[in-house]
Amino acid sequence: MIEVKNKERSPIQIVVRSRSKPRAFTTQVVPGIGAGNNVVLIEDERVTEYIERAENKGHISTRYIPNNKLKKKGD
């Protein structure tokens, strides 16, 4: 899993691969800092070069999280 964290006040829209179609793309909105929910988890297979480009520009930060470290909401 990849954790995407928005560093800006305004929401950012990133392009990721679609879950339903193999060659399709869709957008994911990451809320701004003021909302308190500025972190989104994305599967490794859905990451695109647009996420890397936004990270290089300083809009977002990414971090790899191993699947065995994730906790479910009920645990």
Instruction: Specify the pLDDT at position 12.
Output: 94
User: Residue 36: its pLDDT value, please?
Assistant: 82
- Residue 34 is given by DSSP the state G
Residue 32, in any domain of the structure: yes
Please state the domain count of the chain. Answer: 1
**Residue 74 located in a structural domain:** no
Say if 75 falls within a structural domain.
no
Q: Domain containing 28: what range?
A: 2-69
32-50 per-residue burial string, b: 16 or more CB within 10 A, e: under 16: eeeeeebebebeeebbeee
Residue 33 lies in a domain: yes
Query: How far apart are alpha carbons 57 and 60 in whole angstroms?
Result: 8
Residues 68, 26, 32, 50, CA torsion sign: positive
The whole-number pLDDT of residue 7 equals: 94
Q: What is the pLDDT of residues 40-75, one digit of tens each?
A: 999 999 999 999 999 999 999 999 998 776 666 665
